[in-house]
Every structure is written in structure tokens, then in C-alpha cells.
């Protein structure tokens, strides 16, 4: 069956592709399985060399990849360029990391134990539509570095950058069959990868709901899983913060990628004594977010991914709206930046909106801030704004979340671990930690007797 890949800023068809089914998925797993023995036998240093070549090719095709991503996701070109830059950095990082993760030698009675880091085999990588290439690279880098072969399933809405990356991987000299991309529906291709007996692990990024199904499905074959799921992160602003700086940054912590960001700090918690002042500053800063043509270098926010998603986002906004920004009309799935005053019990503060909608929530003191921030089933990201260093560390320790930033929005780095607490998932991507998710420890006892 064929389907149209749409540009969400224009509603135009970019290209029509065939949707893979079970047979194509099985064929890709078979190719990955056939390629596995030779790939795992490549020395770590040589796998690193191939990944470095891929990183260089991504750099050489930087603008092309950024344009593909910008068109297919509707994301501003400047942001897309940054993401492609990170993709290259991720492959450089794992190219350098691959021969630095060693086993141990453990002296024991009668001999010595040796530990080895073994690849898992064929791994299935399932990624969402919001950061298609970036999130693919977070999984591909460590998976390939560790000696696994992969079947990558991009979201059906946004398959284009993964297809181009697979071509570049071949050009880099990564052998055929090592990196396979299958384009098709999650309920078909994704589910088949989850069920397939020859797939050893699923690296999944997406919604908590689908992630729960992946975990259940993986139980049948005791597959390894890492899950990077949804979030409802808090941006905690204390009255002693640099309010101007915090307010200038806050819109980008939730409106970046049109709010379609698992790390979106979509609950803005503000200490009551600074609430009115901060709200005023926040409205001013939000008014300045430039919404429009993703191809324009000046644009800061593009459209949502689809008409259906826009309806879902709109359903969250009712009642106490503090501010609604401007957005283009006509073709494209546009939605304006929206600030809503809420309590933490409101639906807008409970569920992931995944759109440019922020909930402003007042708190009384430090303990109240921590209580509200943690009152969510999610635990992915968050920020703390204060000029009191001791408080920043106290609150950072108290928050139930995998990733945090202090006096900044930014907590995703190539070299640092990324992942969730609670229902935001488990396992860590990026940094050296990600290698643990794509390898298994083997322990060999070697007798020195006789
Ligand atoms: P989604 O609906 O869960 O889909 C994610 C991926 O899973 C897509 O490739 C989808 O395929 C596939 N899929 C759907 N049903 C499946 C099934 N039964 N078995 C296996 N795979 C299946 O998520 P989304 O709507 O694309 O993305 C938004 C969500 O991702 C948000 O909740 C967001 O918070 C989360 N997210 C998390 C992170 C993180 O790192 N924690 C990062 C980004 C996004 P199709 O779409 O092609 O059907
Ligand atoms: Mg979805």
C-alpha cells in the first residue's frame, strides 16, 4: 500500500512511498541477522572508523539533511541544522567511544574471571516523528558501535531523513544489511519487530501508551527494551531567580519544535510572590516567538505535525487563557503559542499536550514546588531557576526526573545520559551510558589450576 509523506507547513505531498508489511519487516530482520556475524567480528576500532566516516558524511550533507527534516517535520530550518549537527556529533562520539568500553579481570579463588561486552544481535529501533534523525542517531550510534545490526523503523509521518541516512551509511562503507530501514505503520512494522523472535532488543522512543504495549509484547520473547516515553516536565521558577532571564528562556522550553518535544517544560511553576511579575514578562517573551515558514532563517516555530494532532492540542485549551499568540492562517497545521493559568489537577497539567501550550501554576514555597513538580506519573526533564545554589541542589535532588537543568532550558548533551524516571521510561541514551543498553556482560571463569 502506498501513502503520501506530507509537508505540514503546506499540506503538500513531498513524495509517495510504499508502506512495508510483515513480509518486508521479516526480510529486513533476516538481512540484519545474516549481516550480524561479520559485523560483530569487525574490530571495535574499525567499527569506530566506519562510524566516523558516517559522521563526516552527515557533516558534508548537513544542509541537505536539515532541509529534508525541516520540510518533513515542519521544523524551523535553524533548529533542523542544529539537530543534524548533533547527529554528526553523536556518530563522532560513539566512533571514539567504541574501543574504550572494556571488560574487567576479577581475581577469584582458583583462577580469574573475565568479563566481556557482547553485542545483543539484531536490534529493532522504533522512533517518533518529532526529532526523527536525531533520535535515530541516539540509538544507531551505540547500537552499531557495540556490534549489533539494526532494523530502524521511523514514524510513518517522517521517514525521509532515515532513508537518506541509510544511503549515507552504505556510502560510508558500513556493510549492507547492518543498517536496515523499514517504512510502514507502527501497528504493523513496529509490532512485528516487537514480536519477532530474532530481534533481541527494542530501543523505543514514543508515547507512554505505545511504550507500554512494546513492553508487554517484548515479554513473550524476553526481549531487552529501553523506553524513552512521554513527559510533563516542570519549569520551576523561584522568586529569587533572575526573572528576566527565566522568562526570556521559558517560551523556548515549551514552544521549541512547536511543543512537540518530550522534554517540553510544559508546566511552568512560579513562586506566588513573583507570579504576577513573571507572568507579565512571560507574555512579553511569548509574543516575540516568531511563528511562520520553517524554511525562513528567522522562524522560531513552525506548524504542528498533522491536522489530527492539531485537534488534540486544541482540545486541551479551555478556560483561563492568559495569552494566545499569532499564527499563520490558510494551509498548514498551525497552532499559536498559548499560555494557560491552571492548577496541577487540571487536564492541561496532567496529560502531555505535545503542542505549544504551557500551563502556569503558582506555588507557595520550596516544599510546595517539589510536591507539585513530582505530582505527575512522568519524570523526564525539568528546569530550576534560582540564584540560591544550595536550593538549586536541594531541589535537583528532590525532583523525580531523569534530566534537569539549572538556570537553563538545555539538558540534552551528546556526552551526558538522557532518559526518564517513572512512566517516562527507563534506560539511558547518549553518553557512555547508552552503550550499556546495546551490550550484554558475559562473565568467563578461567581456572588457573592443573
Ligand atoms: P507513538 O505514537 O508512540 O509512536 C512512536 C513510534 O512507535 C512510531 O514509529 C510509531 O509508528 C510506532 N508505533 C506505533 N504503534 C506501535 C506498535 N503497536 N508497536 C510498535 N511500534 C509502534 O509516538 P509519536 O506520536 O510518534 O511521538 C510522540 C510521543 O513520543 C510523545 O509522547 C513524546 O513525549 C514521545 N517522545 C519521547 C521522547 C523521549 O526521548 N523520551 C522523545 C521524543 C518523543 P507510526 O507512527 O509510524 O505508526
Ligand atoms: Mg502517535
Strand pairing partners for 149?
122
- Ligand 1 centroid to 244 CA: how many Å? 35
Q: What is the DSSP code (8-state) at residue 42?
A: S
Give Cβ neighbours of residue 227 (< 8 Å, ≥ 6 apart).
Answer: 204, 205, 211, 214, 215, 420, 425, 426, 427
Q: Torsion-angle region of residue 382: left (phi > 0), alpha (psi -120 to 50) or beta?
A: left
Indicate if ligand 1 lies below 6 Å from the C-beta of 129: yes
With the most atoms of ligand 1 within 8 angstroms of its CB, the residue from 128, 311, 422 to mutate is 128
Indicate if ligand 1 lies below 6 Å from the C-beta of 191: yes
Give Cβ neighbours of residue 372 (< 8 Å, ≥ 6 apart).
Answer: 234, 267, 269, 344, 361, 363
Q: Is-above-0.85 flag for pTM?
A: yes
Q: Whose CA is nearest to atom 9 of ligand 1?
A: 155
Q: Which domains does the chain have, with CATH numbers?
A: 2-229+424-447 (3.40.605.10), 234-413 (3.40.309.10)
Label residues 155-175 b or e (16+ Cβ within 10 Å = b).
bbbbbbbbebbbebbeebebe
Indicate if ligand 1 lies below 6 Å from the C-beta of 88: no
Secondary structure (3-state) at 426: strand
Q: What is the residue-level pLDDT of the chain in tens, covering all 450 positions?
A: 899 999 999 999 999 999 999 999 999 999 999 999 999 999 999 999 999 999 999 999 999 999 999 999 999 999 999 999 999 999 999 999 999 988 999 999 999 999 999 999 999 999 999 999 999 999 999 999 999 999 999 999 999 999 999 999 999 999 999 999 999 999 999 999 999 999 999 999 999 999 999 999 999 999 999 999 999 999 999 999 999 999 999 999 999 999 999 999 999 999 999 999 999 999 999 999 999 999 999 999 999 999 999 999 999 998 799 999 999 999 999 999 999 999 999 999 999 999 999 999 999 999 999 999 999 999 999 999 999 999 999 999 999 999 999 999 988 999 999 999 999 999 999 999 999 999 999 999 999 998
The dihedrals phi and psi of 446, each to the nearest 5 degrees, come to -120, 110
Show which residues are catalytic: 228, 262
- Ligand 1 centroid to 274 CA: how many Å? 37
Indicate if ligand 1 lies below 6 Å from the C-beta of 303: no
Please give the sequence-ordered ranges of beta strands (E in DSSP) within 122-262, or none if there are none: 122-126, 149-153, 179-181, 199-205, 224-228, 234-237
**Could you tell me the CA-to-CA distances from 199 to 120, 203, 450 in Å, in that order?**
9, 11, 41
| Rounded CA separation 342/336 (Å) | 18
At 224, list the grid cell.
531487552
Amino acid at each position: 500500500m502506498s501513502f503520501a509523506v506530507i509537508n505540514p507547513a503546506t499540506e503538500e505531498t513531498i513524495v509517495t512511498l510504499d508502506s512495508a508489511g510483515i513480509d518486508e519487516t521479516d526480510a529486513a530482520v533476516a538481512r540484519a541477522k545474516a549481516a550480524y556475524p561479520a559485523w560483530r567480528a569487525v574490530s571495535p576500532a574499525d567499527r569506530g572508523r566506519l562510524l566516523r566516516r558516517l559522521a563526516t558524511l552527515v557533516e558534508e550533507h548537513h544542509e541537505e539533511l536539515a532541509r529534508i527534516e525541516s520540510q518533513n517535520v515542519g521544523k524551523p530550518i535553524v533548529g533542523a541544522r542544529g539537530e543534524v549537527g548533533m547527529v554528526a556529533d553523536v556518530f563522532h562520539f560513539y566512533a571514539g567511544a567504541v574501543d574504550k568500553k572494556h571488560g574487567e579481570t576479577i581475581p577469584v579463588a582458583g583462577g580469574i574471571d573475565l568479563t566481556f561486552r557482547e553485542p545483543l544481535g539484531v536490534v529493532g529501533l522504533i522512533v517518533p516523528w518529532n526529532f526523527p534523525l536525531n533520535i535515530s542517531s541516539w540509538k544507531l550510534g551505540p547500537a552499531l558501535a557495540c556490534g549489533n545490526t539494526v532494523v530502524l523503523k521511523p514514524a510513518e509521518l517522517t521517514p525521509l531523513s532515515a532513508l537518506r541516512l541509510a544511503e549515507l551509511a552504505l556510502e560510508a562503507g558500513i556493510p549492507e544489511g547492518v543498517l536496515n530501514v523499514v517504512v510502514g505503520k507502527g501497528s504493523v512494522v513496529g509490532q512485528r519487530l516487537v514480536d519477532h523472535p530474532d530481534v533481541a532488543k527494542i530501543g523505543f522512543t514514543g508515547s507512554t501508551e505505545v511504550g507500554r504495549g512494546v513492553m508487554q509484547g517484548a515479554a513473550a520473547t524476553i526481549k531487552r527494551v529501553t523506553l524513552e516515553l512521554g513527559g510533563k516536565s516542570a519549569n520551576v521558577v523561584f522568586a529569587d531567580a533572575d526573572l528576566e532571564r527565566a522568562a526570556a528562556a521559558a517560551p523556548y522550553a515549551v514552544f521549541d519544535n512547536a511543543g512537540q518535544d518530550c522534554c517540553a517544560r510544559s508546566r511552568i511553576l512560579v513562586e506566588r510572590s513573583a507570579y504576577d511579575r513573571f507572568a507579565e514578562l512571560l507574555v512579553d517573551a511569548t509574543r516575540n516567538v516568531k511563528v511562520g515558514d520553517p524554511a525562513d532563517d528567522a522562524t522560531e516555530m513552525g506548524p504542528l505535525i498533522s491536522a489530527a494532532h492539531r485537534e488534540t492540542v486544541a482540545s486541551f485549551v479551555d478556560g483561563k487563557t492568559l495569552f494566545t499568540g499569532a499564527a499563520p492562517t490558510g494551509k498548514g497545521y498551525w497552532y499559536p503559542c498559548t499560555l494557560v493559568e491552571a492548577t496541577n489537577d487540571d487536564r492541561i497539567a496532567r496529560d502531555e499536550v505535545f503542542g505549544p501550550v504551557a500551563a502556569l501554576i503558582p506555588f507557595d514555597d520550596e516544599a510546595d514546588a517539589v510536591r507539585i513538580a513530582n505530582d505527575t506519573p512522568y519524570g523526564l526533564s525539568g528546569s530550576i531557576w534560582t540564584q540560591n545554589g544550595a536550593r538549586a541542589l536541594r531541589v535537583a535532588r528532590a525532583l523525580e526526573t531523569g534530566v534537569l537543568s539549572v538556570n537553563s532550558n538545555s539538558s540534552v548533551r551528546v556526552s551526558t545520559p538522557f532518559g526518564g524516571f517513572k512512566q517516562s521510561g527507563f534506560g539511558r541514551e547518549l553518553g557512555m551510558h547508552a552503550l550499556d543498553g546495546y551490550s550484554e556482560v558475559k562473565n568467563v571463569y578461567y581456572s588457573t589450576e592443573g
